[in-house]
Amino acid sequence: MIKSLLIANRGEIACRIIRTARRMGIRTVAVYSDADAKALHVREADEAVHIGPSPARESYLVGEKIIAAAKQTGAEAIHPGYGFLSENAGFAQAVMDAGLVWVGPNPDSITAMGLKDAAKERMIAAGVPVTPGYLGEDQDPERLKREADGIGYPVLIKAVAGGGGKGMRRVNAAEEFAEMLLSCQREAASSFGDDRVLIEKYVERPRHIEVQVFGDKHSNVVHLFERDCSLQRRHQKVIEEAPAPGMDEATRASVCAAAVKAAQAVDYVGAGTIEFIADASEGLKADRIWFMEMNTRLQVEHPVTEEITGVDLVEWQLRVASGEALPKRQDELSINGWAMEARLYAEDPSTGFLPSIGRLETFELGGARIDTGVGEGAEISPFYDPMIAKLIVHGEDRADALRQLADACGSARVRPVRTNAEFLTRCLRDQTFASGDVDTGFIARNLDELTTTKPVSDSILAAGALLLLSDPAKDLSEQPFLSGSGHKEWVAGPSTTWNPLFGFRLNASAKRRVDLEVDEKLTTIDLDATGIHEPELYDVEDRGVWVADQDGARYHFFALPSAEHRAAGLGGAAGDGALVSPMPGKIIAVAVAQGEAVTKGQKLLTLEAMKMEHSLVAPFDGVVAELSAEEGGQVSEGAVLARIEKGEGA
């Protein structure tokens, strides 16, 4: 068995691997960049090595530095986690050439499945069904468009070397193809160093079904059943579950057998995922499920498989890398209950899911298994993926798991960094999703309903403020700001315990002017308790009060020192027409020129930050009066990139 392990990754996956390694008595070594000097994975490892500046391309993506760190610390093996170098065959080979154990598949298997066109050709030869499309080497834009025209719209343009939703664009009509191709190639080159693409037929009612496979060095391959990852936004998974809703035993047997066949076709060793696309227009049927790609690594959503099978997949990885046979045979694996996972991102759904950065003054999660790489007081930087935690639950059945996860997301308390917790809660409480009738277009179709926050009523603002100000346990005389964040779709149930404030009435005499920040919007109210109705439900806790109004929406109010208050308006477009950079990043496209007329919602600039492209659009019809952004330029948070002036009549 491996005695010492270097984790060539960061964040929650590094912490996840450290947790299993510690239980197995394996010494762990972390690597970190400047931005991660105080990160949780650095503190939890037995030893840590600094490998460079904050940008990943200068630290986590430099294989030579990671191998040198392993040799420096005497580590026997390297675990790549997922992302970064986990599917880089060259890095895997370099690790092995350095005399170290690579915790992952053989480089030949990574190469065979890493290029989507070659992988599909191999799957066709192995008898695995694949989606129709164009896999040719001719990358001339005219040829690619002819192929797309022939397949019929809508089509998907996908990076040959892609993965994780990067380098993928849906094209609905021929006139969109050229722009979408350019955008896809640009992202593919940035993310993978390879701008080649393939074309696939877009399935109108697609579900994303994937099968966890595992192989060892003794030619054994098993599957650990399927996961459903259909709830996605812009091809990024949001909520995953196992098993898949509506999957009957015959279809499960067929799909899982195809996954094993795919893994055997490349002599696969270690943890991998075979991803399928299903046409769900008539339910899940074996003859309407096709191979998409293989991820030759551990997946972000692997915990749901662990929860239903009772298997620690990281432990299996370490045992297989050490030369051991798989711990269980296929007939020893079974499904127990239902598991679900939600990805908590530092992003603001109300601003188009722009990432949010800053210090986690409050970071309280509960009611679930929490896989995270941050803690209270941590800094969320602009250099890496905005996922800050995964909330995982296991229930007796899907309804039980759904309830648990909705409660966990609804009670998440993160401040002042914005998160998608409320968005996740709304998704989980949606009746269509709860019924299992979901496909990859669910979020796009229901985006407004899932992201629009209804205004908080004056009576709720006043009730929350008065309840907080009346708490005798707190001296709020020096706390000029009260802040509220609404958890919509929260419904009071019989299992909820409420602690009324005996002796306090809202109709007592109380007058005070209070500044309130609700969802980063500042408002001032004059409190006069006379005539304000006491809310039916409220609860007092250490960090504030919760108030529920008649429609079941729940609001959290808590006091903030003045220094913590951040004025609204950072990022996006200011009221005077200024386009402001919401975070540090790189300008990768400028679509307008100074003096040009623009219309409301028109894309003007594209900013790359936190591994994502973000569009900045015109706030209203007008003219580009100022333009300071240049393609390729680095910008800081709050920098004014352009200014739009209203034209006559606008």
CA distance 247 to 241: 12
Closest CA to 610 of 51, 190, 147: 190
C-beta neighbour count of 120 within 10 angstroms: 22
Q: Using an 8 Å Cβ cutoff, are 21 and 5 in contact?
A: yes
Q: Using an 8 Å Cβ cutoff, are 366 and 468 in contact?
A: no
Half-sphere exposure at residue 311, Cβ-oriented, CA atoms within 13 angstroms:
28
CA distance 167 to 358: 28
Rounded to 5 degrees, what are φ and ψ at 319? -70, -45
For 155-204, the DSSP string reads EEEEEEEEETTEEEEEE-SGGGHHHHHHHHHHHHHHHHS---EEEEEPPS
Q: Using an 8 Å Cβ cutoff, are 208 and 275 in contact?
A: yes
CA distance 529 to 511: 7
DSSP 3-state assignment of 449?
helix
What is the 8-class DSSP label of residue 452? P
Length of the chain: 650
Q: Using an 8 Å Cβ cutoff, are 107 and 289 in contact?
A: no
Q: Which two tokens stand for residue 618?
A: 């015109």
Q: Is 297 a catalytic residue?
A: yes
Q: Which of 227, 233, 297, 554 is flagged as catalytic? A: 297
First to last CA, the chain: 71
**Bridge partners, residue 548, by sequence:** 537, 554
The alpha carbon dihedral of 562, 639, 583, 440 has a sign of positive
Closest CA to 368 of 314, 412, 333, 305: 412
Pairing verdict, β 572-573 and 578-580 = antiparallel
Q: Using an 8 Å Cβ cutoff, are 242 and 338 in contact?
A: yes
Q: Which two tokens stand for residue 255?
A: 């799909």
Q: Using an 8 Å Cβ cutoff, are 544 and 556 in contact?
A: yes
> Token pair 């060539």 is at which residue?
8
CA distance 370 to 626: 46
> Token pair 């006139």 is at which residue?
175
Strand order in the sheet with 612-617: 612-617, 603-609, 585-590, 634-635
Rounded to 5 degrees, what are φ and ψ at 249? -65, -35
CA distance 177 to 159: 15
Burial class (CB in 10 A: 0-12, 13-18, 19+), 427: buried
**Bridge partners, residue 586, by sequence:** 608, 634
Q: Is the peptide bond before 584 cis (omega within 30 degrees of 0)?
A: no
Rounded to 5 degrees, what are φ and ψ at 303? -60, -30
Residues labelled catalytic: 297
